[in-house]
A and B are shown apart, each in its own frame.
Chain A
Amino acid sequence: MPDFALFTLLNEPNVLWVIVGVCFLAIAMSCVGTFAWLNRQSLIGDAMAHCALPGIAAAFLFSQSRHPLILLPVAIFSSLLGNMLMNWLIQRSKLPADSALAIVLSGFFAFGALLLSVIQKLPIAGKSGIDQMLFGQAAAVDDTDAIILIIITSLVLLVITVIMSRLRMIIFDTNYSQSIGINVSLYKQIMGVLIAICVVTGIQIVGVILVSALLIFPAINARQWSHHLRSLLFIAIISALIASVSGVLVSYHYSHMPTGPWVVVFLALILITSLLFSPHGFLIKRIKIHQRQIIIHAENVIRVIYLLNKTNKEAKFTLHDIININSMPLKMIKKGLTYAIRQNWVTDDTHSGYRLTQLGTAKAQIITRHHRLWEQYLSQNKQFSTQNLHLSAEYAEHIIDDELADSLDEFLGHPSKDPHGQSIPSKL
């Protein structure tokens, strides 16, 4: 059983360290990424990851060692340099942000690649595979790496908690924050440092290209569910954690599978689910629109029966009668009728015909009142032609609520007849 096998993996200390390491990295990156995303700097992580390459290459060239404690600080410094250059280009030479990002990204990375090609030509021991650092090796995380990741994450979270209220203010309104004396550029620089630290540590685990996914995905995902900063951060962290654990487990279960890409794939799956099923998501929106349409059909149908009731005292009507008055497609009428029966607006007397219940009559009366009040309002105040009056009221009758109807009634001086000469039903 595959499920069972997945959980036995947890007993191996090696896997445990990888999971711990990746999870802590995911926590730090999703927090930092949420702020970057809110600042409309989604791709800054991508740029800063590429900017780390010349740092890595230069550090290796001069120290001839691959120890992370030598390479990491230089790499972080190099990506901070890239960030500063980006800000300088945007502020001083008025470059659009996206151009500055792409220029610095490609320029720094190209310089790094140049240094790498120099390294390849030199007789240095251990030079092979220095460029493999760019593609990440999550499986190589051991206990020391995991502890370094835990320390980095705690530091990042600590800094974010301390400056969170200020950051929130800057994101909400940068100009206002500046005007009340908050040092905006200082906080932006702090964020830059945090992003650099996270991204450079992330490169070793998921690789230079995929590291920006850990920044962007959790933020967009959380945004589908919440509008509040705290819950945004919370949801971002949770989704990143789920994706990391699943990614690590899958990559271990099927051997020769890279961890980073699997984490990204799980992040993407979570995002797709959110986009479809969140309260403002694609599917839910469609369902809501569909339901609203059915209610409108039902309201149209009971209004037709209500109007038929006025002329014909039989009080029972077949589908044919309804279609004669209202030229809706049959499918819509049927859907509307089903809904109306479920709502107990209409009874279906052994298929001999449809009859309005007391509830349905009241509902239809209210809709008719809205319809005619609206017609009256348009003809008195907006000089609509009679045909347009009806069309507009067909839409408005479903939207107007009781409060608006009352104020319309008062505004028009409690009219008793609509422009077609039909009486406006009174309020119940």
Chain B
Amino acid sequence: MVLDSSLILLYLIALLASLCCALSGSLLTVQKKAMLGDAISHSSLLGLVLAYLISGERSIPYMLLGALIAGIGTAYMTEKLKNSLRIQYDAALGVLFTTSFALAVILISQYARQVDLDQHCVLFGEIALAPFDTILFGDHDLGPRALWTLSIAFVLNIIVITLCWNRIKATLFSANFVQSIGLKKNYWQQLCSILVAITTVSAFESVGAILVVALLVIPSNTARLFAKTSLVRYIGYSLLFALIATVMGISLSLWLDTAIAATIATVLFMNFLLINYIKMNLNPHNKSLP
């Protein structure tokens, strides 16, 4: 195994993606909206296709913007459907992401000659190519684009989490308590949804939808096994688990010659199951409960 520059970049991109997702994911898990990331990543295909068709070229900023709008739109519409038409939250998610995905597939097959996108790239993604997709500014090579978008997403994540620190803390402690003391939910929920959309879109175009969902949900739920009330430990553990699994996953995939994103997600999942199992067997109180 040779540690050349593209490999280091690959590690960097994967680590940034997993840190971003772990931060946003801890917000999602606290709010019991784990499937939002899945829905956003699927429906952003529609945004990508529309941006592609409207701008007429494979222009990355337009496509990111399109995906972002589709993602935020999904989050917003889900709240709308749930609140004003009283459709269950997860049913509303299911309705929205399947419809937009279906529309996207139809558009792709209609304009197949113009669009070189397909469902395959959304689902699986290929992080191995991310280091080679670089930004050129004049004659300068500014490094991989994914590194830039993910860095921006990471900074945004940190800003939002710092701003909402107390609110997240209260929700982690008890969601019902937050409702009962009458804190307004809308403002921060929408902020969180937008943040999740930004994270999902910037991560999934380099690592694929499935890894994004795994990175969003699994680290924070693993952390939850250890940190039930302390927010610092909760977020810290999430980041730690994401980091460990990412490094393990990449190394393993290079060794076994398998798909990188799939391997990272599988390692995350296996780690979660293992830790969950050990934790349950160490703690006799959990075992007796039905």
Interface contact A110-B280, CB-CB below 8 Å: no
A216 at interface (Cβ–Cβ under 8 A)? yes
A40 at interface (Cβ–Cβ under 8 A)? yes
Interface contact B269-A98, CB-CB below 8 Å: no
Interface contact A131-B265, CB-CB below 8 Å: no
Interface contact B258-A114, CB-CB below 8 Å: yes
Q: Report the stretch among B11-19, B92-100, B133-141 that lies at the interface.
A: B92-100
Contact with A along B262-281 (1 / 0, CB 8 A): 11111011101100100110
A106, A220, A258: the one contacting B214 at CB < 8 Å is: A106
A residues 149-167 with Cβ under 8 Å of B?
none
A268-B91 Cα distance, complex, nearest whole Å: 13
Contact with A along B231-251 (1 / 0, CB 8 A): 000000000000000000000
A103-B263 Cα distance, complex, nearest whole Å: 15
Interface contact A110-B102, CB-CB below 8 Å: no
Interface contact B210-A102, CB-CB below 8 Å: no
B residues 185-239 with Cβ under 8 Å of A?
210-211, 213-214, 216-218, 221, 225
B106, B269, B273: the one contacting A258 at CB < 8 Å is: B106
Chain A: CB-nearest residue to B211? A110
Interface of A is mostly: helix
Q: Please give, as numbers and ranges, the residues of chain B lying within 8 Å of A95 by CB-CB distance.
A: 221
Interface contact A107-B265, CB-CB below 8 Å: yes
Interface contact B91-A261, CB-CB below 8 Å: no
Interface contact B95-A114, CB-CB below 8 Å: no
Q: Please give, as numbers and ranges, the residues of chain A lying within 8 Å of B258 by CB-CB distance.
A: 114, 117-118
Q: Please give, as numbers and ranges, the residues of chain B lying within 8 Å of A271 by CB-CB distance.
A: 95
Interface of B is mostly: helix
Q: A400 to chain B: closest CB distance in Å?
A: 29
Interface contact B94-A110, CB-CB below 8 Å: no
B257 at interface (Cβ–Cβ under 8 A)? yes
Residues A102 and B213 in contact in the complex (CB < 8 Å), given A96-B34, A114-B262, A265-B99? yes
Interface contact B112-A256, CB-CB below 8 Å: yes
Residues A265 and B106 in contact in the complex (CB < 8 Å), given A98-B32, A103-B221, A110-B210? yes
A217 at interface (Cβ–Cβ under 8 A)? yes
Q: B128 to chain A: closest CB distance in Å?
A: 11
A210 at interface (Cβ–Cβ under 8 A)? yes
Chain B: CB-nearest residue to A132? B120
A385-B247 Cα distance, complex, nearest whole Å: 72
Interface contact A99-B221, CB-CB below 8 Å: yes
Residues A220 and B91 in contact in the complex (CB < 8 Å), given A213-B99, A261-B105? yes
Q: Please give, as numbers and ranges, the residues of chain A lying within 8 Å of B276 by CB-CB distance.
A: 89, 93
A27-B90 Cα distance, complex, nearest whole Å: 22
A42, A46, A110, A207: the one contacting B269 at CB < 8 Å is: A110
B52 at interface (Cβ–Cβ under 8 A)? no
Interface residues on B, range: 35 or more
Chain A: CB-nearest residue to B269? A107
A412 at interface (Cβ–Cβ under 8 A)? no
A43 at interface (Cβ–Cβ under 8 A)? yes
B residues 20-35 with Cβ under 8 Å of A?
29, 32-35
Interface contact B102-A264, CB-CB below 8 Å: yes
Q: A3 to chain B: closest CB distance in Å?
A: 21
Interface contact B91-A107, CB-CB below 8 Å: no
Interface contact A114-B263, CB-CB below 8 Å: yes
A61-B276 Cα distance, complex, nearest whole Å: 30
Q: Please give, as numbers and ranges, the residues of chain A lying within 8 Å of B123 by CB-CB distance.
A: 134, 209
B112, B225, B266: the one contacting A110 at CB < 8 Å is: B266
A residues 236-273 with Cβ under 8 Å of B?
256-258, 260-262, 264-265, 268, 271
Q: Please give, as numbers and ranges, the residues of chain A lying within 8 Å of B280 by CB-CB distance.
A: 92-93
Chain A: CB-nearest residue to B118? A135
Q: A40 to chain B: closest CB distance in Å?
A: 6
Interface contact B90-A209, CB-CB below 8 Å: no
A40-B210 Cα distance, complex, nearest whole Å: 24
Q: Please give, as numbers and ranges, the residues of chain B lying within 8 Å of A257 by CB-CB distance.
A: 106, 109-110
Residues A114 and B266 in contact in the complex (CB < 8 Å), given A109-B210, A131-B120, A256-B109? yes
A399-B227 Cα distance, complex, nearest whole Å: 54
Q: Please give, as numbers and ranges, the residues of chain A lying within 8 Å of B124 by CB-CB distance.
A: 113
Chain A: CB-nearest residue to B252? A114
Interface contact B266-A265, CB-CB below 8 Å: no
B88 at interface (Cβ–Cβ under 8 A)? yes
Chain B: CB-nearest residue to A104? B269
A342 at interface (Cβ–Cβ under 8 A)? no
Residues A107 and B272 in contact in the complex (CB < 8 Å), given A213-B99, A258-B105, A261-B105? yes
B38 at interface (Cβ–Cβ under 8 A)? yes
A275-B82 Cα distance, complex, nearest whole Å: 13
A106-B120 Cα distance, complex, nearest whole Å: 16
Interface contact B261-A113, CB-CB below 8 Å: yes
Interface contact A46-B94, CB-CB below 8 Å: yes
Interface contact A92-B112, CB-CB below 8 Å: no
B160 at interface (Cβ–Cβ under 8 A)? no
- Show 28 A/B contacts (Cβ-Cβ < 8 Å), sorted by A: A40-B90, A46-B35, A50-B210, A96-B32, A98-B33, A99-B221, A102-B35, A102-B37, A102-B216, A103-B34, A110-B211, A110-B261, A112-B262, A113-B210, A114-B258, A114-B266, A117-B259, A118-B256, A131-B120, A135-B120, A207-B119, A209-B101, A216-B95, A256-B109, A258-B105, A261-B106, A262-B102, A264-B101
8 more A-B residue pairs beyond the given contacts A42-B90, A94-B289, A216-B98, with a C-beta to C-beta distance below 8 A:
A93-B286, A102-B35, A103-B34, A103-B214, A107-B266, A112-B262, A210-B98, A262-B106
Interface residues of B (CB under 8 A from A): 29, 32-35, 37-38, 42, 85, 87-88, 90-91, 93-95, 97-99, 101-103, 105-106, 109-110, 112, 119-120, 123-124, 210-211, 213-214, 216-218, 221, 225, 256-259, 261-266, 268-270, 272-273, 276, 279-280, 286, 289-290
